[in-house]
Amino acid sequence: MDDIAAIPSDDLLAGQRMWVTADSPWVSGVDQSRFRASLEPLRKLNPPLILSTHLPPARGAIAQLLDMLAAAPDYETFVGPDQAALEQMLTQMEPVPA
């Protein structure tokens, strides 16, 4: 993909929400007004292109990306499987003898 504009917006937002809640669960505990204020210098910078390791290039999408980040503290924190559930999942991934 050449740009995040090629990703349906609902899919992009769902993926970003999953990523932020799983990778950065601490965000749910931040002071929301301070967190949102910390994004404003980036919004004012208004870069025409954002390059990321997790998404295709984003052209003219700073507002969209920062709006998602600003809402991140409101998302429900991701809770992964406990040890028993993880072990059960791993056993299902074991190769079956031929």
Q: Tens of pLDDT along 3-59? A: 999 999 999 999 999 999 999 888 988 999 999 999 999 999 999 999 999 899 999
Count of all residues that appear for the chain in the document: 98
Q: Is the pTM of this model over 0.85?
A: no
The pLDDT value given to residue 93: 87
Q: Is residue 61's pLDDT more than 90?
A: yes
* Residue in 88, 50, 83 with CA at minimum distance from that of residue 69: 50
Amino acid at 88: Q
* Residue in 84, 60, 64, 49 with CA at minimum distance from that of residue 16: 64
Cα→Cα distances 38→20, 43, 46, 73, Å = 17, 10, 14, 13
Helices in 7-96 by DSSP H: which ranges? 9-23, 32-45, 62-71, 83-92
| Residues linked to residue 59 through DSSP beta bridges, in sequence order | 49
